[in-house]
Amino acid sequence: MTTRSPETDLGRTRRARRIGRVLTETHPDAHCELDHSNALELAVATILSAQCTDKKVNEVTPKLFARYRTAADYAGADRAELEELIRPTGFYRNKTSSLINLGQALCERYDGEVPGRLADLVTLPGIGRKTANVILGNAFDVPGITVDTHFQRLVQRWQLTTETDPVKIEHAIGALYPKRDWTMLSHRIIFHGRRVCHARKPACGACTLAKLCPAYGTGPTDPVAAAKLLKGPRARDLAAAVGIDPDLVPQQAVAAEVP
Ligand code: SF4
């Protein structure tokens, strides 16, 4: 049996960069999956996305955004009406309170505008650090790392950090990549977590990162079994990228809602 010497910091950084490059090729369609056209809409959508799929949020927001256009609209919202509009996203009473409080705080402290600084964003009701980074990266073009459940699981599987606290993970991963790449890297990692490297049964046998991943084998390595685990509209392209016959990916996988 051969024993491998522990990976050096330089070795880990190089492997991290390679993972980043492979993810860029694997997920050319990576983007923020919450539909929005400005910072306020993204802040609202992110609050609604707690314990809810992005797809469900995107079903609700067109009507919501047409009715509530400004922070003042949320500040003065009729609670019952707002609750009804966002009810399908779950926890709608709490979320309604967050949206009204957010609108009031923006009007009172920021002239009704969403601020573009992390330190200000995290003082707003319903906006934690993760949400703040989503808003910075996608509405203000300020590079930000979004440590959600997928991001956390994947960077730990890749052994890029041993940290478990999201803020420490954010700093540890940030140190491995150029700042300008942070926002897109976050989208690509989250895309991979939703479509390939699932929490319970990752599609290891159909994963473009197999050679770079210390957790290869956590899920099925057999290509036929793994192909069935791929998800989303590009599931067949993902299979083809690792040399698997795309026809092995069932139609329901292509149509499947990503978590
Ligand atoms: S090889 Fe498996 S555990 Fe590693 S990233 Fe791919 S799907 Fe996830």
CA distances from 24 to 7, 37, 140 (A): 24, 24, 22
* Final residue belonging to a domain, choices 115, 140, 165: 140
Give the position, in ligand 1's atom list, of the atom nearest the Cα of 219: 2
Expressed in angstroms and rounded, the spacing between residue 118 Cα and the centre of ligand 1 is 32
The response to whether residue 213 sits with its C-beta less than 6 Å from ligand 1 reads yes
pLDDT at 4: 67
Ligand 1: which of 197, 198, 201 to mutate, most ligand atoms within 8 Å of CB? Answer: 197
Does residue 228 fall inside a structural domain?
Answer: yes
136 and 150 fall within a common domain: no
Does residue 125 fall inside a structural domain?
Answer: yes
57 and 101 fall within a common domain: yes
Give Cβ neighbours of residue 76 (< 8 Å, ≥ 6 apart): 103
pLDDT at 257: 72
Per-residue pLDDT of the chain (259 residues; tens, 9 = 90+): 445 678 999 999 999 999 999 999 999 999 999 999 999 999 999 999 999 999 999 999 999 999 999 999 999 999 999 999 999 999 999 999 999 999 999 999 999 999 999 999 999 999 999 999 999 999 999 999 999 999 999 999 999 999 999 999 999 999 999 999 999 999 999 999 999 999 999 999 999 999 999 999 999 999 999 999 999 999 999 999 999 999 999 998 888 777 7
131 and 55 fall within a common domain: yes
Helix pair 166-174, 129-139: axis angle to 10 deg: 40
pTM of the complete model: 0.92
127 and 251 fall within a common domain: no
pLDDT at 103: 98
Distance between CA atoms of residues 80 and 177, nearest Å? 46
Q: Domain count of the chain?
A: 3
Does residue 170 fall inside a structural domain?
Answer: yes
Would the annotation count 32 as a binding residue?
A: no
The response to whether residue 110 sits with its C-beta less than 6 Å from ligand 1 reads no
pLDDT at 256: 73
112 and 91 fall within a common domain: yes
Would the annotation count 197 as a binding residue?
A: yes
Does residue 20 fall inside a structural domain?
Answer: yes
The response to whether residue 50 sits with its C-beta less than 6 Å from ligand 1 reads no
* Final residue belonging to a domain, choices 152, 168, 196: 196
Domain boundaries, position 165: 9-28+144-196
Q: Are 132 and 167 spatial neighbours (Cβ–Cβ below 8 Å)?
A: no
The response to whether residue 160 sits with its C-beta less than 6 Å from ligand 1 reads no
Query: What end-to-end distance do the CA atoms of the chain give, in Å?
Result: 40
pLDDT at 93: 97
Residue 185 CB-half CA count within 13 A: 26
CA distances from 92 to 60, 62, 170, 252 (A): 12, 17, 29, 30
Ligand 1: which of 157, 198, 211, 244 to mutate, most ligand atoms within 8 Å of CB? Answer: 157
CATH of the domain at 67: 1.10.340.30
pLDDT at 1: 42
Which residue, among 66, 23, 65, has the nearest Cα to 194 in the 3D structure?
23
65 and 155 fall within a common domain: no
The response to whether residue 225 sits with its C-beta less than 6 Å from ligand 1 reads no
Expressed in angstroms and rounded, the spacing between residue 197 Cα and the centre of ligand 1 is 5
CATH of the domain at 187: 1.10.1670.10
Does residue 82 fall inside a structural domain?
Answer: yes
Expressed in angstroms and rounded, the spacing between residue 8 Cα and the centre of ligand 1 is 21
160 and 78 fall within a common domain: no
Q: Which residues of 45-71 are buried (b: 16+ CB within 10 A; e: fewer)?
A: bbbbbbebbbeebbebbeebbeebeeb
